[in-house]
Chains A and B, each alone.
Chain A
């Protein structure tokens, strides 16, 4: 619990010779309690506070300004509006995570518009909107831009349905915009003209991220924007910005904390090269570097001056080789987070292990995810090397083509503090390539050793033993992602019965059936959601579950041409809003 809260509670008891704490009404006016609670920011803390008693519930709801909704269908806009009168910032997440990988059909839902309509009525002073996996169209963006005069921050991650025309509306109408963060969305890029829609008076931008848009923007407009926005701290440009343009921007904004480069490929004259190096070295506050589209090895040395202060280096779009990475990390001893492509190979990761002792997070993405050739990418050796050198590692996302149980066991011995362990052996059902055994012992070692594990993603050939281990040891596990694993219902049952903190469970292509599904019947209300696709679940079990648990939405999507009784895709989530009213025809709510 928040220590501040504890302290104030105690001090209030002392100072007032307070009545005993079992007294239901608090001896202080609501205003005091509200003042105290206004220091609470974490939504989890606030949820706890709201459960204490009715007074606290009320005080909390009046003081909450930030809304976090992890599943947009778990609650309705009307319910939210009734409970929280003073919201300034909203974070909404929509589709199940597997929609990122095309497992959820188009037009599934998670449209933000109905939320915006309610917000416009109830929260006219809304300032921030952060959406993840939501659907929104240009009309919604225009509505957003024109309905909230004080709107400041828009962040869209993995959303879809809109285009750069919507961004035009935002740029045009939001006079006080401080943040525009557009990341990896399924959007239509109709051109870069939106950037020119920022008015000449707009000087409040602090965050501008358009790295994932490809169209050319007017450099003139961008340059002027950067020039007048003195508070700009995060700037991530797209590929259309050349190196010498980048240099000009850096000269204008040496205060940047996060920079996303544009195209790194331009041929530079020695003078330009020098100028760029100087520009980078003048950015004394730079902590994050990203971008690096295309083959960038040519000009990497210009970065070296900025590297010592870096804490996050995102090279996951740069096809660097081991030598190039080695040079960069040699200059970046303070790196905490590193994202790379597997083109760097095991050798590159060895260099990371020896150069980055403070590394906490490593993500290695595959450059050729559909290539079968084993000679590409990274292996267990690279992961081992990093674990030897980077003992503080606690977050890993690792795509590889081969792994051994022994390697993983050693890795977690070296780094027992893993909170997020996401290992993706890219061939489904791949065995330990040395012993030919399943990968059960690897994940067993992870859950046994890493007691703080919150998030786990499995891969490789796995039997029920893995799930027994998880159920037995992973007591802090909150999110589990399973694919092509398990031997029987028992596996899933172990997890459902053994992991008390489990909130998100996503399963695909596993032999778990009705018994497994129904074994968790009591658990699903304590979780945010369960996704099961391509398993052995039937409609009858889903119907039973829906009947027994009215506060769950049990949604089934069937594949074309499959058996009537099969529930091909099942999405189950707790909700206080009842069955959703915007479900498309292919989603059946039971």
Chain B
């Protein structure tokens, strides 16, 4: 693949200091079973993702979550197609519901959004840092807002609602703390709105990039950004509403190489691989794992971890 990474447009800016915070959080947040730290940890700064663990450490993460082994090792981890397979097959075997392997992503009948948080899901798992019962608005009104505009907040609200309903004995003291932390951050003139910075690593390149998922309103701009960063060209499955209408494929957003296409897939909380084009973009920052892959050579696999969102790009999947 092209080693044009270093020549990409867009500087690598931002401080390193916040990266450290994020790193610790990544380590924490990678554990699936524990309650997720909330959005405080997502105030990630943009920084150089220096591969402290070595640029080409090919450790094999059996699960995406576990990929975040050590604080710095994740930066430069590179997954090969084999890793991806093992990831998928592991997920497939471990998940109870039918998951889609990469080959099936395009016509997986179970593609869709399963957004109801299971009763047993830990409290912090929903997309935003919800404090139970706050702001004090009646459930009926919240649900009306959800149905009303099919708003982007749907998933967070319904998952928050479900979480509230099933977990209302759990008081999110952590969230209070984090909310106050966020206020502290605000006071210090830091980010007003949480940015969801995601590291993007490309196979063969030791130094990664960062992308703010929250700065993008749709797949197109994300793919364009990544395109610029990595000189890819991408086609992204069109968003479709929750009503599960026809999926329409959009045209390739950029054209570096006509034959190079990628689709976004992700691994949701239940361990199922889902074609991400089904999901409106607004859900992206708050869903668990993402895989961004191409289905033809060159193949980019972008791999994102929940909450400490990290992209790993690699190639030659199939």
Known pairs A317-B148, A484-B176; A105 contacts B137 (CB<8 A): no
Cα–Cα, bound, A358→B170 (Å): 44
Say whether A52 faces chain B, with CB atoms less than 8 Å apart. Answer: no
Residues of A within 8 A of B168 (CB): 102-105
A483: min CB distance to chain B, Å: 7
Q: Is the CB of A368 within 8 A of B134?
A: no
Nearest CB on A from B307, distance (A): 16
The answer to whether A428 and B157 touch (CB under 8 A), given A317-B148, A368-B151, A533-B171, is: no
B18 to chain A, nearest CB (A): 18
Contacts of A124 in B (CB 8 A): none
Q: Choose from A102, A369, A428 the contact partner of B176 (Cβ within 8 Å).
A: A428
**B20 interfacial contact with A, CB 8 Å:** no
B194 neighbours in A (Cβ, 8 Å): 372
| Docked-complex contact A184 and B183, CB < 8 angstroms | no
Contacts of A431 in B (CB 8 A): 183, 187
Cβ–Cβ contact A424 & B171, under 8 A: no
Contact B169 A424 (CB under 8 A): no
Q: With A370-B157, A436-B187, A560-B170 given, is the CB distance from A102 to B133 under 8 Å? A: yes
B140 in contact with A568 (CB, 8 Å): no
Q: Find chain B residues with CB under 8 A from A184 CB.
A: 138, 140-141
B213 to chain A, nearest CB (A): 14
CB pair B179 A429 closer than 8 Å: yes
In A356-397, the 8 Å CB interface with B consists of 365-374
* B136 x A100 contact (CB < 8 A): yes
- Which one of B79-87, B124-132, B237-245 is at the A interface? B124-132
Across-interface contacts of B144 in A (CB, < 8 A): 293, 317
Residue of B nearest to A433 (CB): B186
Complex contact B171–A370 (CB within 8 A): no
Question: Which residues, 101 to 157 on B, are CB-close (under 8 Å) to A?
Answer: 128, 130-142, 144-145, 147-149, 151, 153, 156-157
Q: Is B180 a contact of A508 with CB atoms below 8 Å?
A: no
From 314 to 351 in chain A, residues with beta carbon under 8 angstroms from any chain B beta carbon are 316-317, 319
Q: List residues 153-193 of chain A with CB under 8 A from any CB of chain B.
A: 158, 184-186
Closest B residue to A106 by beta carbon equals B165
Question: Nearest Cβ distance between residue A194 and chain B, in whole angstroms?
Answer: 19
Docked CA distance A59–B168 (Å): 46
Residue A430 at the B interface, CB < 8 A?
yes
Specify the chain A residue showing the minimal Cβ separation from B128.
A370
B131 touches A428 (CB 8 A): yes
Chain B residues lying within 8 Å of A558, measured Cβ to Cβ, are 169
Bound Cα distance A319, B144 (Å): 11
Please encode chain A, from 293 to 318, with 1 for each CB lying within 8 Å of some chain B CB and 0 for all others.
Answer: 11100000000000000000000110
B293 close to A (CB within 8 Å): no
Does chain A have a CB within 8 A of B317?
A: no
Please measure, in the bound complex, the distance between the C-alpha atom of A560 and the C-alpha atom of B123, giving whole angstroms: 12
Structural contact, A105 and B182, CB atoms closer than 8 A: no
Note all chain A residues with C-beta closer than 8 A to B136.
100-101, 424, 457, 481, 483
Closest to B145 in A: A367
Within 8 A of B (CB), among A12-37: none
Partner of B171 from A293, A372, A430, A559 at Cβ < 8 Å: A559
**Which residues on A sit within 8 Å (CB–CB) of B58?**
none
Contacts of B192 in A (CB 8 A): 374
Inter-subunit contact B137/A369 (CB<8 Å): yes
Q: How large is the interface on B (under 10, 10 to 19, 20 to 34, 35 or more residues)?
A: 35 or more
Tell me which residues across on chain A come within 8 A of B165, comparing CB atoms.
Answer: 102, 106
* A426 interface contact, C-beta 8 A: yes
* Chain B residue contacts of A39, Cβ below 8 A: none
Which residue, of B132, B147, B192, has the highest number of chain A Cβ atoms within 10 A? B132
CA distance A174 to B216 in the complex (A): 57
Interface residues of chain B: helix, strand, loop or mixed (majority): helix
Whether the Cβ atoms of A366 and B187 lie closer than 8 Å is no
Contact A399 B135 (CB under 8 A): yes
The answer to the question of B164 belonging to the interface, with a C-beta cut-off of 8 Å to chain A, is: yes
> A38–B274 Cα gap in the complex (Å)?
69
Nearest to A461 among chain B residues (CB) is B183
Known contacts: A105-B168, A372-B194, A373-B193. The answer to whether A429 contacts B140 by CB under 8 A is: no
Q: Is A525 an interface residue (CB 8 A)?
A: no
Task: Report chain B residues within 8 Å CB of A428.
Answer: 131, 134, 176, 179-180
Is B160 an interface position by the 8 A CB rule?
yes
Instruction: Name the A residues within 8 Å of B151 (CB-CB).
Output: 367-368
Q: By the criterion CB–CB under 8 Å, are B140 and A212 in contact?
A: yes
Q: Are A102 and B139 in contact (CB under 8 A)?
A: yes
CA separation between A426 and B130, bound complex, in Å? 12
* A294 with B183, Cβ < 8 A, contacts A101-B134, A424-B136, A560-B170 known: no
Looking at the assembled complex, report how far the CB atom of A398 sits from the nearest CB atom of chain B, in whole angstroms. 11
Q: How far is the CB of A367 from chain B (nearest CB, A)?
A: 6
- Nearest A residue to B180, CB-CB: A429
- Set of chain B residues within 8 Å of A399, measured between Cβ atoms: 135, 137
Q: Are A559 and B133 in contact, CB atoms less than 8 angstroms apart? A: no
Kindly state the separation between the CA atoms of A105 and B193 in the bound complex, as whole angstroms.
33
CA distance A316 to B145 in the complex (A): 10
Do residues B176 and A185 form an inter-chain contact, with CB atoms below 8 A?
no
Quick check: B153 and A429 within 8 Å, CB to CB? no
- CB distance A100 to B148 under 8 Å? no
Give the residue name and chain of the B residue nearest to A481 (CB).
Answer: B136
In the complex, are the beta carbons of B179 and A427 less than 8 A apart?
yes
Are A559 and B170 in touch, CB under 8 angstroms? yes
Closest Cβ–Cβ distance, residue A304 to chain B (whole Å) = 24
Q: Closest Cβ of chain A: how far from B4's Cβ, in Å? A: 35
Interface residues of A in 496-515 (CB under 8 A from B): 508-509
Q: Is B176 a contact of A568 with CB atoms below 8 Å?
A: no
- Report chain B residues within 8 Å CB of A408: none
A366→B135 contact, CB < 8 A = yes
Residues on A with beta carbons closer than 8 Å to the beta carbon of B134: 101, 426, 428, 483
Partner of A186, one of B139, B148, B156, B180: B139
- Specify which of B130, B148, B165, B182 lies most central, judged by the most chain A CB atoms within 10 Å of its CB: B148
The answer, yes or no, to whether A352 is at the interface (CB within 8 Å) is: no
B179–A100 CB distance below 8 A: no
Chain A residues whose C-beta falls within 8 Å of the C-beta of B138 in the assembled complex:
100-101, 158, 184
A463 to B309, CA, bound (A): 37
CA distance A271 to B161 in the complex (A): 43
A557 is an interface residue with CB less than 8 A from chain B: yes
Q: In the complex the two chains form, is B148's CB within 8 Å of A294's CB?
A: yes
Beyond A105-B169, A293-B148, A372-B194, whether A426 also contacts B139 by CB under 8 A is: no
Instruction: Provide the A84-115 mask, 1 if CB < 8 A to any CB of B, else 0.
Output: 00000000000000101111111000000000
Residue on A nearest B181 in the bound complex, by CB: A429
Tell me if A465 is interfacial: C-beta within 8 Å of chain B.
no
Interface string of A417-456 (1 = CB under 8 A from B): 0000000101111110000100000000000000000000
The minimal Cβ–Cβ distance linking A570 to chain B, given in whole angstroms, is: 13
Contact of B169 among A214, A316, A374, A559 (CB under 8 A): A559
CA A373 to CA B134, docked complex, whole Å: 16
Residue numbers in B under 8 Å from A424 (CB-CB): 135-136
7 smallest A-B Cβ distances: which pairs? A101-B133, A102-B164, A184-B140, A534-B171, A559-B169, A102-B168, A426-B135
Known: A104-B168, A106-B165, A509-B131. 14 other contacts (CB 8 A): A98-B133, A102-B164, A295-B149, A319-B149, A366-B137, A367-B151, A368-B145, A369-B142, A373-B193, A426-B135, A428-B131, A483-B134, A483-B136, A484-B176
- Some 5 contacts from A to B, beta carbons below 8 A apart, are A184-B138, A212-B140, A372-B128, A424-B136, A431-B183
Chain A residues close to B by CB (< 8 Å): 98, 100-106, 158, 184-186, 212, 214, 293-295, 316-317, 319, 365-374, 399, 424, 426-431, 436, 457, 461, 481, 483-484, 508-509, 533-534, 557-560, 568, 586
Chain B residues within 8 Å of A, Cβ to Cβ: 39, 128, 130-142, 144-145, 147-149, 151, 153, 156-157, 160-161, 164-165, 168-171, 173, 176, 179-180, 182-183, 187, 192-194
